Amino acid sequence: DATIMKTILEKFPIYTEGLLKVGPKGYVFKHQYTNLAEKYYNFKLRSDDVFIMTFPKCGTTWMQEIAWTMRNQVNVNTDLELNVRAPFLEFDCLESMELEPLESWLEDFNSRNPGKDYKTEGLYLELATSCPSPRTIKTHLPFSLLNPSLLDTTKVIYVARNPRDTCVSFYHHHRLVKVNKYIGNFDEFVDFWCQDLLTYSPYLSHLAEGWSMRDHPKVLFLFYEDMQEDIMRELRKLNDFLGTSLREEELKVVAEHVKFANMKSRSTCNPTAAGIHVGRFEKNEGEFVRKGITGDWVNYFTPHIEEKFSAWLKSSKEAKNIPMKYR
Ligand code: A3P
């Protein structure tokens, strides 16, 4: 639709080369995805891989740090960045590879990791491919865009977060990450959200796909809000699911290590903490590991925004396919 496209381009210059809607559910991507879709679909799996699958801003980084630490002998002293230890499968299709800040980040990264000479092109796919076993891999791709044999080989942890907090967090993300170049306000952002026009949307289809797999023996479906309510309870579920056999004292070490304030202060998982990747981020838009609470949406939702948001939620044909508490 030409009017919608004009509005998008005014607020998101990144979509100048078009916005893709992929598969029957119409998942949204930037144009780079076209060249990489097949590689993601045919990504060579290993039997000890664990995928962390989320819609963006649902607690991916938190779960990456948790799962990686649990699967690596509770190593809380690593200097390696989280996105190297637990690589992001399809990051290559999100970033603009011509972007100068990525080049300087890479230069810095190669110099800090002796023996590494990564190139921007295909960087993240290479990190995922060359990652030593057992791999913990982050993806925002829903089940339907990955190989149908995924669960024959690997385990998947799906983390869900309530739609209102996810939307607020995604808004900050779009303001913060330079490649998104979002210049609108929150009210306008909610219009994009409700039209399912943001990358990886539709949120509800993504969530519905994850929720439909919750009883599969190789899927662990968790809620961000439950992790905040009682992290030890969720770590015990993970311990069983991953087969990591960690003792209660070790789980307590993990819980401490992944506390919000601790993760926020570590540059290995909060890229804006020490200014290492600063080129990729706007300076005055807060931090990547931002606020980490449930219910922050009340500070953003005016009655008008709430009205359009709940209308979107109620009118979606996927609404009946998501967890009751999020409807
Ligand atoms: P907010 O923007 O609401 O603060 P993702 O990793 O999927 O991008 O999700 C990001 C959200 O998870 C952000 O939410 C971020 O602050 C929050 N987060 C990151 N680490 C966390 C932690 N250790 N505990 C709680 N929330 C965390």
Tens-digit pLDDT profile for residues 123-170: 778 889 888 899 999 999 999 999 999 999 999 999 999 999 999 999
% of the chain with per-residue pLDDT over 90: 62
* DSSP 8-state code for residue 184: S
Ligand 1 site, residue 172, Cβ cutoff 6 A: yes
- Out of 31, 140, 174, 206, the active site residue is 140
* CB neighbour class for 100 (10 Å; exposed up to 12, middle 13-18, buried from 19): exposed
Ligand 1, atom nearest to 293 Cα: 3
- Assess whether pLDDT exceeds 50 at residue 97: no
- Assess whether pLDDT exceeds 90 at residue 302: yes
User: Quick one: average pLDDT of 307-324?
Assistant: 96
Q: How many CB atoms lie within 10 A of CB 50?
A: 22
What does the pLDDT read at residue 100? Answer: 47
User: Quick one: average pLDDT of 60-85?
Assistant: 94
Ligand 1 site, residue 56, Cβ cutoff 6 A: yes
Ligand 1 site, residue 58, Cβ cutoff 6 A: yes
Q: Order of strands, edge to edge, in the sheet holding 219-223?
A: 136-139, 50-54, 155-160, 219-223
- Contact of 58 with 159, CB cutoff 8 Å: yes
- What is the C-alpha to C-alpha distance for residues 243 and 163, in angstroms, rounded to an integer? 31
Our mutation pick for probing the ligand 1 site, out of 52, 54, 57, counting the most ligand atoms within 8 A of Cβ, is: 57
Evaluate the CA torsion angle 174, 176, 178, 181 in order and state its sign.
positive
- Assess whether pLDDT exceeds 90 at residue 271: no
Ligand 1, atom nearest to 260 Cα: 23
Tell me: the pLDDT tens digits for 162-212? 999 999 999 999 888 876 778 889 999 999 999 998 999 999 999 999 999
What does the pLDDT read at residue 5? Answer: 65
Quick check: is 304 catalytic? no
- Assess whether pLDDT exceeds 90 at residue 56: yes
Tell me: the pLDDT tens digits for 242-270? 999 999 999 999 999 999 999 999 988 88
Ligand 1 site, residue 61, Cβ cutoff 6 A: yes
What does the pLDDT read at residue 14? Answer: 61
What does the pLDDT read at residue 273? Answer: 76
Encoded tokens for 211? 């929720």
- What amino acid occupies position 313? L
What does the pLDDT read at residue 89? Answer: 93
User: Quick one: average pLDDT of 205-222?
Assistant: 98
Grade residue 234 by pLDDT with cuts at 50, 70 and 90.
very high
What does the pLDDT read at residue 177? Answer: 80
φ, ψ dihedrals at 53, nearest 5°: -115, 125
Ligand 1 site, residue 64, Cβ cutoff 6 A: no
Strand partners, 158: 53, 221
Q: How many angstroms separate the alpha carbon of residue 140 from the centre of ligand 1?
A: 15
Tell me: the pLDDT tens digits for 80-90? 889 889 999 99
Our mutation pick for probing the ligand 1 site, out of 289, 291, 299, 301, counting the most ligand atoms within 8 A of Cβ, is: 289
Torsion angle, alpha carbons of 219, 171, 68, 130, to 10: 90
* pTM, 2 dp: 0.92
Ligand 1 site, residue 169, Cβ cutoff 6 A: yes
Mean pLDDT of all residues in the chain? 88
- What is the C-alpha to C-alpha distance for residues 227 and 241, in angstroms, rounded to an integer? 15
Neighbouring C-alpha atoms within 13 Å toward the C-beta of 169: 22
What does the pLDDT read at residue 99? Answer: 45
Ligand 1 site, residue 277, Cβ cutoff 6 A: no
* DSSP 8-state code for residue 79: -
What ranges in the chain are assigned the alpha helix state H?
2-11, 33-41, 60-71, 82-85, 100-112, 123-130, 150-153, 163-176, 186-194, 203-212, 224-229, 231-242, 248-257, 260-265, 303-315
What does the pLDDT read at residue 131? Answer: 87
What does the pLDDT read at residue 278? Answer: 59
Instruction: Specify the residue for token string 């967890």.
Output: 323
Strand partners, 137: 51
Grade residue 16 by pLDDT with cuts at 50, 70 and 90.
low
Indicate if ipTM > 0.90.
Answer: yes
Residue 303 CB partners (closer than 8 Å, separation 6+): none
Determine which residue's CA is closest to atom 26 belonging to ligand 1. Answer: 292
- Assess whether pLDDT exceeds 60 at residue 94: yes
Q: Beta strand pairing status for 19-22 and 27-30?
A: antiparallel
Ligand 1 site, residue 54, Cβ cutoff 6 A: yes
Q: How many angstroms separate the alpha carbon of residue 292 from the centre of ligand 1?
A: 5
Ligand 1 site, residue 139, Cβ cutoff 6 A: no
Tell me: the pLDDT tens digits for 107-116? 766 776 677 6
Grade residue 98 by pLDDT with cuts at 50, 70 and 90.
very low
φ, ψ dihedrals at 186, nearest 5°: -65, -40
- Assess whether pLDDT exceeds 80 at residue 277: no
Q: How many angstroms separate the alpha carbon of residue 227 from the centre of ligand 1?
A: 11
Determine which residue's CA is closest to atom 8 belonging to ligand 1. Answer: 57
* DSSP 8-state code for residue 181: -
Determine which residue's CA is closest to atom 20 belonging to ligand 1. Answer: 62
What does the pLDDT read at residue 121? Answer: 67
